[in-house]
Amino acid sequence: MASIDEKNLEEKLTALESARTWSARLVSKLESNIRSASDAELFRINPIKFAADKNLNEEETIVLFLHATALGLFDMTWILICPVCSCVIDSFRALKNLRSHCHCTHCHLDFVAALDDMIAITFTVNPAIRRISYHDPQTLTVEDYLFRYSSTNEGLTRTERLSST
């Protein structure tokens, strides 16, 4: 069972609800996800995919995740994605930390970072709200580390990766 800091969660959700006028049930769907989603589902959330999966307005969902991040419900991370193997080359909290040249340790290729094709913004539940296994990557199984932590949700599937090697 997930360990959730109930007091902290309730405090942050109350602040989120009053931050602006949200569509009906938007915040409750986010709360339900924080409470019941698997660790993997709370790691590197794509708000556009979240909106599609939950039948929510895409733009409002993006704004929701930004507000939730400002309040400490989520951590926002920029990830640099290898255009060949879809592995995460680097991740950082601020875009200013992006280097112009990068190297993928999985496919051993060098690239010039392209903001339009190789960058994604993701959201992970804040460990002060709910601690998940992906907050401690050294404790993950080999499969979770290689196919979930080191890769992106939107990249190649495990079968596609294995068949290309």
Number of domains in the chain: 1
Is residue 151 situated within a structural domain? yes
Rounded Cα–Cα distance for residues 129 and 62 (Å): 20
Block residue for tokens 């991370």: 77
**pLDDT, position 82:** 86
Residue 156 placed within a domain: yes
CA-closest candidate to residue 53, choices 36, 30, 72, 75: 30
109 lies in some domain? yes
Question: What pLDDT score does 130 carry?
Answer: 97
Contact 111, 104 (CB under 8 A): yes
Residue 15's domain spans which residues?
A: 7-163
2, part of any domain: no
pLDDT of residue 84: 84
Q: What are 13-17's contacts with CB under 8 Å, separation 24+?
A: 13/73, 15/71, 16/64, 16/67, 16/68, 16/71, 16/73
- Identify the CA nearest to 150 among candidates 83, 75, 84, 85: 85
pLDDT band of residue 156 (cuts 50, 70, 90) is: very low
Say how far residue 24 (Cα) sits from the centre of its chain: 24
Answer yes or no: is pLDDT of 157 > 60: no
Residue 136 and residue 10: Cα distance in Å, rounded?
24
Degrees to nearest 5, angle at CA 78 with 101 and 12: 165
In a domain, 52, yes or no: yes
